[in-house]
Amino acid sequence: MYDYELKSIGNVEVKEFLLVSDGYKLIGFVGKGNHFNWLSIPQLSISVELSRFNDDFGNGEQLASVIENPILVDLLVHVINDLSGLFNKDKQDCFDGKNFITTREYTFWLECECESLSRQLIQFEYDLFPSDLSFDDFKKERLNDYVYSRKQYGTDAF
């Protein structure tokens, strides 16, 4: 048997990504550890140590040592830069999607979430407080309030 000592020396933060461009569809991982950063793309059987995330030249050199296609190397350097902003963030910042979609798409997503919650609130309010209205009439009345509140701010607010 082998004689060795194993110690945990820190935590690694990893971001998984899907890259679709120029005929490529690659799943990869960018990692940030206490002692080094790295990029791994299992489909290409590569894993390389990276310099600082914003060191385009150093990271390009590392990638060029294992990838022959200069266009893919340049593309991956850009991906590393884009993903670097996601490290050392609150998990909620990465979870809610605002880092991966346009502002317009994010606004639409938030609007849909608000509408869904509004409908749930209407059901809750109807269940909690007795009303002479049927549920459908109650819902119409509450949704009219919602439409009115949207008109107050204009269509460009949403």
In degrees, to the nearest 5, what angle opens at C-alpha 128 toward C-alphas 122 and 132? 80
Q: What is the pLDDT of residue 117?
A: 79
User: Does 131 have pLDDT greater than 80?
Assistant: no
Q: Report the range of poorest mean pLDDT among 19-23, 69-73, 124-128.
A: 124-128
State how far the alpha carbon of 58 is from the alpha carbons of 15, 17, 78, in Å: 20, 21, 13
- Where residue 99 falls among pLDDT bands split at 50, 70, 90? low
Does the pLDDT value for residue 158 go beyond 50? no
Contact status, residue 39 vs residue 28, Cβ threshold 8 Å: yes
Interval 22-70: pLDDT, tens = 888 999 999 988 778 999 999 999 999 999 988 999 999 999 999 999 9
The larger pLDDT score, comparing residue 105 to residue 24, is at: 24
140 vs 157: which has the higher pLDDT = 140
What is the Rg, in whole angstroms, of the alpha carbon atoms belonging to the chain?
25
